[in-house]
Structure 1
Amino acid sequence: MAEAVVGQLVVTLGGALAKEAATYGGALLCKEAAALRGLFAKIRQSKAELESMQAYLQEAERFKDTDKTTAIFVGEVRGLAFQIEDVVDEFTYKLEDCKHGGFGGKMKKRLKHIKTWRRLAAKLQEIEAQLQDANRRKRDYAVTGRSASAARSTNQGQALHFTRDEDLVGIEENKERLIRWLTGGSGGGDGPELSSNKVTMVWGMPGVGKTTLVDHVYNTVKEDFDAAAWVTVSESYRTEDVLKKIAAQFGITVDVANTEMRGVARSIQNCLQGKRYILVLDDVWAERLWLEIRDVFPTSNSTGRVVMTSRKQTVLATRESAYEIHLKPLQAHHSWLLFCKGAFEDADDKEGPLELQKLAWKFIAKCQGLPIAITCIGRLLSRKLPTSAEWEDVYRGLDSQLVKDVIPDAHLILKVSLEDLPFDLKNCFLHCALSPEDYILKRRKTMRQWITAGFITEKDESKTLEEVAEGYLAELVNRSLLQVVERNFAGRLKQCRMHDVIRLLALNKAKEECFGNVYNGSGGTGVFSIEGARRISVLGGNIEQLSLSGATQLRALHVFESYIDIDLLKPILTSSSLLSTLDLQGTHIKMLPNEVFDLFNLRYLGLRDTKIESMPAAVGRLQNLQVLDAYDSKLTYLPNSVVKLQKLRYLYAGTSKDSIRGVKVPKGMQHLAGLHALQSVRATPEFLHEAAALTELRTFDVCNVQSEHSAYLSNAITKMSHLVHLEIDAAAENEVLRLEGLHLPQTLSWLSLRGQLEKTSMPQLFSSLSHLNSLTRLQLEFSNIDEEAFSCLHVLHGLRSLLLRKAFEGKRLEFYTGSFPKLRRLGIWGAAQLSQVRIEKGAMQDLVELWFGDCPDLRFLPDGIEHLAGLEKLVLIDTSEELIEKLRQERDSDELKEDIVKIRHIRNVTVALTQKGLVERIR
């Protein structure tokens, strides 16, 4: 992971050097110029040295666990890289500081900083000397004759183990499917014809049992084929080596040393011609592999079955891939069986003593269905005395640095995954591990923190930092290092989480590499040291135990404990002058300590869902701040000084809980021209006039809009050509939003309008939305929509989600054939007069969820609901009591009633009468 540290530092040094031309563009004092030239020369020298070292470290990471000399050297490089980062951060701050203040103040700072430039250059000189000493020691004491590949194969060999048939648990269904696909046997009609060549994929997270499943099936079916081969593919494969392995496994004799790739390919094709063959390519990393070798295998007069296993979902991206199995963690029952087979293998009942079974379930919960972890821990416990004290000792090891000793196979598997990650993606992955166990990682917050931490850099001008970050998040999911929790109705990743075993191993790596550490207050009376750690997550406990030693290196402080004495953080804030991230979301603090506003390097300030009531003017001193997130706090206004924060990229304030959600902003908001998100701001004519300068906005949420604001608002939004998410809230339910002059950009995906709409302009407004090809989510409240106006919404063919809340005034809703073809979620709330809903065949064919709430006149199910073949969830809340009681009675009846027949294809039907306290799932 030192390679990740150095990689990020190279980017930082590049940014520092970019300031050189701008610095010399101004009038510099003679001594000042000389001192700066010396410092820039040292920065250039450090950058060149680190760039050369980065490639070496990428290889060194692979075998430092088996070469002590290399491990020591890598650790030294990491520490020196941290020191260089400290120098550059201080330099960047002091250089920026010279630009602020009056002429006299600036001059005084520049004269004072001449000594600083010389000191920092001398520090870099000292670090360079230390680096050369480390290089010399490594050279002098290195053990020769060992290569990265040799160490790698040793590690892989250690991870191999043989699985007994009786230990195979929870794979029966997937085993039968795979056998059926490979052999073309009957059973459900989903097996391939034996006359064709097919590729089957088995993919899933590290350690989930992909190889175990395929190995078992392979040994079961290979006798049915004329030729069989199993080849393990490393992520650093060479195509010719893979082909030679395949040839050897098929029993084809080739001169490995001399035969060129074309000859090997011809030999394989000739051997397999006219035969039935099976080939397993295990642990495939590269998406291009099959495309590179597929033409080697005959497609006529032969039958081929190729099975690939991978932890990367995108390896599926091949048109020949006929079938796939996404292997998921085991359910609780199967986890218990697998655990008992390992831990209690000598017990007659295979369940062990009762006093250990409660502890056994704790281990199983920690493993979260990951077979390799369950097996490792079960085997370890089988060698321990069957006592609570012995087992408790092992359990404590799971939350400590001993985790790699408790589940070594899983540790090795994750190590391989980490080695394959680019340096910036490694940092993003370890950052996710610092969150609490089972923590839900939200896409947008995670991306913002990665950006402000410096993990994300622009790859090319065509992609924003946000787009690069979202791609990284998708890649971690693709590599099965993060699990999807929820996608939105457009299919975009919304929430994900890290499997607990993966998190434990990643935390172990993060601590070992000084990337970060977690504090949960469970260390007894001992002092928890943050020495060397660049990032700390406080998960709970008395933070007085946190030691102050080494806090000067701290870059990020995340607090997840709600009730925390903010005064106890003051000493850490004081000594951590280079802190760039302070996340206090969810803590019950009412005001920030003054020490926060001395953090010149602070880029992320997270105050969401806190009790913060006011923001002092001192916030204007945080000149590097990029994210100020105070949404759902108690803030009602922002100080005048906030407009000085010209690097601000995201500004969230206001609340979703009060009727007046907006926060009052000061004059001068046009100076924050780099803003990408502004939520949620109280409208005034002055602000809306200034908002026209915020042309980089992607998210804009404006509240308390009055009719007379319409012209200013429309003019501002028209200039926001990158807008993706727009929310407009009227000052009151009866306030009319006059939006006839509104021109929305093609980039818009999410639109929420809260306020009355003019009936005469509604058709024109809805028609204008039809040209927005990216619009997937529409929410309307208090809009006064009648039957005729609703029919105008049918032109929105790209919608995935439509919510009408107290917006529909008619009695009848009609959904015509072909309407809303991509809609997946529909919610109708507060439609007081709605009594009839009709759905024609062919309408809303993709609908998954349908909600009706507070519709007291709705006495019948929607006519045609049976046409919604893909509907999975129907929710009726406070519709007519008559309808709800009828459905409940028909559910309990022995006869098959008409309404039950209509909805029997829907997996989840829930009804509720809130005044009666009734909430019941009837299907």
Structure 2
Amino acid sequence: MAHPLLGKEVSALKGLFGEIRKAEAELEIMRAYLRDSEKFKDANETTSIFVRRVRDVAFRIEDVVDEFTYTLEDCKHGGLATRIKKRIKHAMNWRRLALKLRNVNAELEDAVKKRERYAMPRVLERYAGGSVHHAGSANQTLSFAREEDLVGIEDNVAKLTQWLVGDLEGRSRKIATVWGMGGTGKTTLVDHVIVKVDFDTAAWVTVSKSYKVQDLLTKIAREFGVSIDARNMEMRSLVEVIRFYLEGKRYFLILDDVWEKDVWINIMDVFPSNGTSRIVLTSRKHEVASLATSDCAIKLEPLGEDHSWNLFCKLAFRNNDDKRIPLELEYLAVKFLQKCEGLPIAIACIGRLLSCKPTTYSAWKNVYEDLELQSSKNVIPGVDVILKVSLEDLPFELKNCFLHCAIFPEDYEMKRRRVIRHWITAGFIDEKENQTMEEMAGKCLNELVNRSLLQVVKKNGFGRVKCCRMHDAVRQLALDRAEKECFGKVYEGSQTFSVDGTRRLLIQNSNIGPLSQSGATKFRAIHVFTNYIDINLLRPILASSNLLSTLDLQGTQLKMLPDEVFSLFNLRFWVLEILELKFYLRQ
């Protein structure tokens, strides 16, 4: 006679199968929604809250589906008697998972109803939240092109000037590009050079990320001084007017903050090429820089220590004849510059702020303490506005790879192989036809470098990136976003550490007592960057994170292997070092 518990278990399992299939279909739609929501999630606060709730529900459905898959697979192994025992043993699990799914579905329905209830009328949405496409205004507002404020760009000024004014008698078009991460002074450099160039006509246009070709050409025409009635003019007529105006002239065109190659490719035929012309493009992307004529490309890097110090002195004491920093303020000056990390725009922001304050220790200390309290903890106000634009421009798949790099410690040199394996394990990389996942991940790494979001530390003999790091200002913004989206969080020894549903944990402090007692659960990845960690304190974290897929303890010396590791059925990537023995396992 069949065991009564087995009959109940079979019935519960049939019902759960149907629920799981529905949940998987719902999860697929939710993931698509979250990808698409990148375009509008900041439109207003109501939408932002709804997106957060959908993300949380998606995480919980993902957990239920993974646990169900493992439990079901476990029941298939062994003889008949063993399988029956396992199914009876898992009967409570079936019911628990079914209840979880019902609760999750109810929460999702509640979120949808609330969103409909508090939906903002479309006429108001345009005025809520503002636009995220503000790169142009931010760059121009924070430019610091005063002659006495320019430091560390003399060689690039000479190089760009030579490219632009050399061989003006020859009837040719030359394209120069200036590229680098946000805040390195691209606009400033070009702004400084343009005053040295003498052409018949010139135009400077800042390109919107969401540009339209006709709108861009209209701006260019007006900057050149062409009189047009754009509202009543077709594209063909607009092109003819611009071309006729420029024919036979020596003209100079600057397209500032270009985000893709197509910006120039889509309009290049508008401009006469049989005369003398110079085109300058500024961008954060290498692909745009590749448009340059015969190596006329300049990549701007953060300033070195000496140039950073000189620029800081000039700006902080711009109202003084003596630009030297008083001895009692040197310590704070060093602290300010550590935050700026060589970014000219950061140094400009903080230098200008200090130039309006009394040159006393107490006044400067107050400014520094105010900076510490900013929401973006280690980023100078104003800089985050510029850097955030680069983050918002990332495709959904690439954004996950970028946020993951922020989980490594500050100034950490990330090795190519390790980063790529993390991305693949986390499911960030899709395999495409004729390309392995390793090759696809390598392309993602190169793209982040080309977007100036990662800095190359070392290349191999073939020019391939071997090691890279993330600028501290960029990293802090990425960490803020990672924490906000429950992507990942850093534990640095805080006594009051809140997990709040985060999926990835970076441990940078060996004192994990508070973390061990915080009730941390459902981590998908744990990365430890300390020389030593107490196994007994690590055990409860591993025990409560049974869905863990990555456990990276590379560089952490352990005296023994935690038993809890063997219960991590979802583990796909783990690195452990036990005394002098190194274990590297990849499933």
Normalised by the length of structure 2, the TM-score is 0.90
Determine the structure 2 residue equivalent to 1:488: 460
CA distance in 2, matches of 1:390, 1:319: 47
- State the alpha-carbon separation in 1 of the partners of residues 183 and 435 from structure 2: 34
1:424 is aligned to 2:397: yes
The residue number in structure 2 matching 1:600 is: 569
Q: 1:231 to 1:298 in 2, by over 3 A?
A: same
Report deviation, 1:111: 5.0
**Map of 1:196 onto structure 2:** 172
Aligned-partner residue type, residue 45 of structure 2? K
Kindly indicate whether residue 433 of structure 2 is the aligned counterpart of residue 461 of structure 1.
Answer: yes
The within-5 A match list for 1:684-833 is none
**What is the letter of the counterpart of residue 161 of structure 1?**
L
**Aligned-pair distance for 1:112?**
5.1
Q: 1:565 aligns with which of 506, 516, 534?
A: 534
Deviations 1:834-886 (A, max 9, x none): xxxxxxxxxxxxxxxxxxxxxxxxxxxxxxxxxxxxxxxxxxxxxxxxxxxxx
Amino acid at match of 1:245: K
1:338 pairs with 2:314: no
Matched, 1:60 2:40: yes
Q: Is the 8 A contact 1:225 1:277 kept in 2?
A: yes
Could you tell me how far apart the structure 2 residues matched to 1:46 and 1:339 are? 51
Q: Distance in 2 between matches of 1:542 and 1:142?
A: 46
Residues 758-801 of structure 1: per-residue CA shift (max 9 Å, x gap): xxxxxxxxxxxxxxxxxxxxxxxxxxxxxxxxxxxxxxxxxxxx
Indicate the residue corresponding to 2:584 in structure 1.
629
Which residue identity is paired with 1:83?
R
Aligned to 1:402: 375
Structure 1: stretches of 5+ with no match in the other structure: 1-27, 185-190, 615-627, 631-647, 650-923
Rate the CA distance shift 1:85–1:355 in 2: closer, same or farther, 3 A: farther
Aligned equivalents of 1:543 and 1:382: distance in 2?
43
- Note the alpha carbon deviations across 1:285-324, whole angstroms, 9 max, x for none: 1122222221111111x21110001111111333746511
* Structure 2 residue identity aligned to 1:218: I
CA contact (8 A) 2:553 2:575 kept: yes
2:336 pairs with 1:363: yes
CA drift of 1:405 comes to 8.5
Alignment pair present for 1:131 and 2:108: yes
Alpha-carbon distance, 1:336 to partner: 0.6
Alignment of 1:472-487 (within 5 A): 472-487=444-459
What residue is the counterpart of 1:73 in the other structure? 50
CA contact (8 A) 2:23 2:61 kept: no
Name the aligned partner's letter for residue 200 of structure 1: A
**Paired amino acid for 2:62:** E
Equivalent-residue separation in structure 2 for 1:368 and 1:573 (angstroms): 36
Q: 1:242: how far off?
A: 1.9
**Equivalent position to 1:173, from 126, 151, 155:** 155
Out of 44-53 and 389-398, give the one that drifted further: 389-398
Match of 1:611 among 569, 579, 582: 579
* One-letter code aligned to 2:579: K
> Residue 401 of structure 1 contacts residue 508 of structure 1 at CA under 8 Å; is this kept in 2?
no
Q: Report SS of the residue matched to 1:514.
A: coil
AA aligned to 2:206 is T
Paired with 1:183 and 1:500, the residues of 2 have a C-alpha distance of 37
TM-superposed deviation, 1:101 = 2.9
Compared with structure 1, are the counterparts of its residues 150 and 89 closer, same or farther at alpha carbon in structure 2 (3 Å cutoff)? same
Alignment of 1:438 with 2:411, yes or no, is: yes
Letter in 1 for 2:162: R
- Cα shift at 1:116: 4.1
Kept after mapping to 1: 8 A contact 2:205/2:254? yes
Q: 1:29 to 1:563 in 2, by over 3 A?
A: closer
**Structure-2 separation of matches of 1:237 and 1:482:** 26
Change (3 A) 1:387 1:559: farther
The counterpart of 1:216, out of the listed 192, 203, 211, is 192
Find the partner of 1:94 among 61, 68, 71. 71
Paired amino acid for 1:340:
C
Unaligned runs of 5+ in 2: 1-8
Please tell me whether Structure 1 or Structure 2 has the larger radius of gyration of its CA atoms: 1
SS of 1:205's equivalent in the other structure is coil
- Residue 221 of structure 2: aligned partner: 247
Quickly say closer, same or farther: Cα 1:114–1:271, change in 2 above 3 A: farther
- Higher relative contact order (Cα pairs below 8 Å, separated by 6+ residues): 2
The TM-score with structure 1 as length reference comes to: 0.58
Distance 2:243 2:541 in 1: 67
C-alpha contact 2:522 2:547 (8 A) present in aligned 1: yes
Matches within 5 A, 1:291-370: 291-300=265-274, 302-318=275-291, 320=293, 323-370=296-343
Which string of whole-angstrom CA distances, capped at 9 and with x for unpartnered residues, describes residues 616-672 of structure 1?
xxxxxxxxxxxx617xxxxxxxxxxxxxxxxx55xxxxxxxxxxxxxxxxxxxxxxx
- For the 8 Å contact 2:135–2:386, the answer to whether it is kept is no
Q: Counterpart in 2 of 1:260?
A: 234
| Structure 1 residue 553, shift from structure 2 partner | 2.8
- What displacement does 1:123 show? 3.2
Q: Cα 1:48–1:318, aligned 2, differ >3 Å: closer, same or farther?
A: same
- Distance in 2 separating the partners of 1:520 and 1:30: 48
Change (3 A) 1:225 1:174: same
Identity, % of aligned positions: 53
Tell me the equivalent position of 1:551: 520
Q: Find 2:81's aligned residue among 104, 109, 124.
A: 104
Distance 2:446 2:472 in 1: 19
Indicate if the aligned counterparts of 1:483 and 1:499 stay in contact, CA closer than 8 A.
yes
Structure 2 distance, partners of 1:496, 1:32, is: 49
Distance in 2 (alpha carbons) for counterparts of 1:398 and 1:434: 23
Q: 1: distance between equivalents of 2:90 and 2:215? A: 58
Q: Does the 8 Å CA contact 2:317/2:355 hold for their aligned counterparts?
A: yes
Amino acid at match of 1:629: Y
- Aligned equivalents of 1:353 and 1:547: distance in 2? 47
The answer to whether 1:48 aligns with 2:56 is no
Task: Choose from 181, 196, 205 the match for 1:205.
Answer: 181
1:202-237 deviations in whole A, cap 9, x for unaligned?
A: 01112111111112222442xx11111111122332
Q: Which amino acid aligns with 1:556?
A: A
C-alpha displacement of 1:607 = 1.8
Alignment of 1:508 with 2:488, yes or no, is no
* Cα separation, partners in 2 of 1:392 and 1:563, compared to 1, 3 Å: farther
Structure 2 counterpart of 1:41, one-letter code = K
Alignment of 1:231 with 2:210, yes or no, is no
Give the deviation of 1:383 after TM superposition. Answer: 5.2
Q: Offset at 1:114?
A: 6.0
- SS of 1:506's equivalent in the other structure is helix
**1:424-447: per-residue Cα shift (whole Å, max 9, x none)?**
211111111111121111111110
| Equivalences, count | 574
